[in-house]
Amino acid sequence: MSHSRDERRAELVLALVALVSVSVLGLITVFVFKEGLPAFREMGLWQFITGHRWSPSQNAFGIFPMLVGTFMVTLGALAIGMPLGLGCAVYMSEFSGPRSAALLKHMVELMAGIPSVVFGFVGLTVIVPFIRTYLGGPGFSVLASSIVLGFMILPTMVSVSYDALRAVPQAYRDNMLALGATTWQTVRMVVLPSAKSGILAAAILATGRAIGETMAVIMVAGNATAVPESVLDPVRTLTSNIALEMGYSAGLHRQALFATGIVLFVIVTLLNLIARAAIRGGSAK
């Protein structure tokens, strides 16, 4: 009897906790939209998104350079992180023994726990000077940000695509091997095609992570509000824009930063929806 009362009390408390978490998330969303939407009304959504000039002192708020910056940095991060991450996952799942796979998995999980400021610090002291010395430019650049982010998305890329590869039935591999396939042929012809929706999901989740990352990027990007013309130019991303200026903003400036947040919110939500569709598409087969 007291058993079922305990049970009911536990259920109530947990329901309350769930309700609080969900409503806080809801409130944040409402708050961001409430604060940011007036900026769209003030200067027009189109003007805000396509405007080339971001100059708070002159009330010019165009986020086009930051959109391009986010796009370039994210693409660069994927170009680095995807092949590395997928290669690592394929090695762990198909080539290494189960013991070294477990070890690698632990290391990747550890890597996920490294604070982003540490990545930024390493980028600042190693990658930025390297680029400045050997490739030219200020060093603070699209390239530096892409490299740092490329490594930061590795854990997501590795663990999600590793899970996708492990979900491929062992019987596929056995049948390929029994036909005289090498391990690499098995991977190329059957394992990767079977896991492709999971790998796509990994890439999309990694993209979301790359877009959202702020601290490390601020430290190595240079943060200039101009459209970068080469990968060696400094760049400012959408998240950096908010983090750098929120502290001292007021009025329209503050609303424009919230509006930047709305744009980010929409982009990341879309990516998550696509990732989920990709995962569903994979498991439906």
* Interacting residues with other proteins (CB under 8 A): 97-98, 169, 171-172, 174-182, 185, 189-190, 193-194, 285
Task: Give 5 or 285: the residue with its C-beta nearer to other proteins.
Answer: 285
Q: Decide the pairing of beta strands 54-55 and 60-61.
A: antiparallel
Helices 154-166 and 98-112, interaxial angle, to 10°? 150
Cβ 279 to other proteins shortest distance, Å: 16
Task: Give 33 or 172: the residue with its C-beta nearer to other proteins.
Answer: 172
Cβ 191 to other proteins shortest distance, Å: 10
Cβ 102 to other proteins shortest distance, Å: 13
Q: Specify the DSSP element, H or E, that contains 26.
A: helix 2-43
Cβ 202 to other proteins shortest distance, Å: 19
Cβ 35 to other proteins shortest distance, Å: 48
Task: Give 115 or 169: the residue with its C-beta nearer to other proteins.
Answer: 169
Task: Give 96 or 116: the residue with its C-beta nearer to other proteins.
Answer: 96
Cβ 157 vs Cβ 208: under 8 Å: no
Cβ 48 vs Cβ 60: under 8 Å: no
Task: Give 128 or 279: the residue with its C-beta nearer to other proteins.
Answer: 279
Look-up: residue for tokens 């049948």? 175
Q: Is 139 exposed, middle or buried (0-12, 13-18, 19+ CB in 10 A)?
A: buried
Residue 152 corresponds to which tokens in the numbers above? 């930061």
* Longest Cα separation, the chain: 75
Cβ 98 to other proteins shortest distance, Å: 8
- Picking from 242, 48, 222, 8, the residue whose alpha carbon sits closest to that of residue 128 is 222
Cβ 174 to other proteins shortest distance, Å: 7
Task: Give 182 or 269: the residue with its C-beta nearer to other proteins.
Answer: 182
**Residues of the chain by 3-state class (helix, strand, coil), percent to 5:** 80, 0, 15
Measured between alpha carbons, how far is residue 25 from residues 18, 22, 37, 103, 265 in Å? 11, 5, 18, 36, 12
Task: Give 82 or 168: the residue with its C-beta nearer to other proteins.
Answer: 168
